[in-house]
Structure 1
């Protein structure tokens, strides 16, 4: 396996472990065992767990290609959010960042800027395109945020 692809494989494998076990619950030994590589191999690419989670979040964000189509109505907006932004893996990433982001603050902030803020901007743009008042846009954003929090607290499924 080439050096770059080994790094990618470690990050890909670690992503699943972090999403399932959390940051504190994931050890380098768990990553080593899941990847079936030596500990020095992992440490060669990632000198510590913080650098590994940074790479996990960075790679995860680069892999996200949420669709940002024009929506003709609010029902279409909700479909876009459900299908493009709030998939199960995204909900798991939210849980990881919300629950333990203080342990990897820079990577967590990257997530908030590059993922969470993007769909919020999309909702605001939708409201402005429909000439909604500032108050109505704020209400729509509140409803959308409520739906996300419902998904976070109920295993990923919305109300």
Structure 2
């Protein structure tokens, strides 16, 4: 393999990621991955024994990239009511993350338990990251305030991105979160 060229495994993953993003889980087939990646079917199956295994590998890779991106955010430098919706916005930036949400929400019934567990763990780690932000800024929210924060972020950022509609400006959403959740000093 020449330097700088992706491995065949990575080529297959990148191709699958693009196809899952464009066509969803149902619309992506191993044959389409083979054709689009320009590799043989045995090559794909030597790395990924099934479409579900390919999906899970893509899911793991995208989740890891998202967590690296979130870890780079300075949780003490920006107010919590702006930082948390900003993290939701960064989550919706990469097409593969939107595809993950579309597929895991809309095609959930086609997923194997391992994929469902991986996605649930990702969501839980995101919640823990939000908790670290609040703790770092000495903010205490009760259960209702946490629910409202999550709902505003999901409805204000994630849902518009999934529907390909414009999302509110993060600063405007942050101001709304601050007003609705309550001024906390």
Q: TM range, normalised to the smaller chain?
A: 0.7 to 0.9
The alignment of Structure 1 onto Structure 2 pairs a total of residues equal to 156
**Hey, which of these two has a bigger chunk of helix by percent?**
1
Is the 2:80–2:133 contact (alpha carbons within 8 Å) kept by the matching residues of 1? no
Question: Residues 50-65 of structure 1: matches in 2 within 5 Å?
Answer: 50-64=52-66, 65=68
Q: Once the 2 structures are TM-superposed, how far is the Cα of residue 34 of structure 1 from its aligned partner? A: 0.7
* Structure 2 unaligned blocks of 5 or more: 169-185
Query: What's the C-alpha RMSD, in Å, of the aligned pairs?
Result: 2.5
Q: CA contact under 8 A between 1:95 and 1:152: conserved in structure 2?
A: no
Partners of 2:48 and 2:84 lie apart in 1 by: 39
In structure 1, distance between residues paired with 2:40 and 2:9: 13
Where does residue 130 of structure 2 map in the other structure? 123
Paired residue secondary structure (2:107): helix
* Largest Rg, 1 or 2: 2
Any unmatched runs of 5+ in structure 1? none
Q: Distance in 2 between matches of 1:44 and 1:125?
A: 41
Counterpart contact for 1:11–1:52, Cα < 8 Å:
yes
Assess, with a 3 A threshold, how the Cα gap between structure 1 residues 136 and 47 changes in structure 2: closer, same or farther. closer
Asked if the contact 2:92/2:98 (under 8 Å) is kept, the reply is yes
Q: Choose between structure 1 and 2 for higher RCO, CA contacts under 8 A separated by at least 6 residues.
A: 2
**Aligned partner of residue 29 in structure 1, secondary structure:** helix
Q: TM-score, normalised by structure 2?
A: 0.71
